[in-house]
Structure 1
Amino acid sequence: MKKTYYISIANGEISQISTTSPWNYKIEASDEEIIELREYFDQIYSTDWQGFMRAHVPYIEYHHDPTNDAYDETMQKVFQLIYELGDQEAKNLISEQGLLKKD
Structure 2
Amino acid sequence: MDEQKKTYYIDVGTGEISQSATSSTWSYKIQATDEEIIQLRELFDQNYSTEWKNFIRAHIPFVEYHNDRDNHAYDSTIQQVYGMIHKLGDEEARNHIESMNILPKDE
Shift of 1:101: 2.3
Out of 59, 63, 85, which is 2:62 matched to? 59
Amino-acid identity (%): 58
What are structure 2's unaligned runs of at least 5 residues? none
Matches within 5 A, 1:1-103: 1-103=4-106
Please report the TM-score for the alignment, with normalisation by the length of structure 1: 0.97
| 3-state DSSP of counterpart to 1:96 | helix
For 1:75 and 1:45, how far apart are their aligned partners in 2? Answer: 11
Please report the TM-score for the alignment, with normalisation by the length of structure 2: 0.94
What are structure 1's unaligned runs of at least 5 residues? none
**How many residues of Structure 1 are paired with residues of Structure 2 in the alignment?**
103
Q: Spell out structure 1 runs of 4+ moving beyond 3 A.
A: none
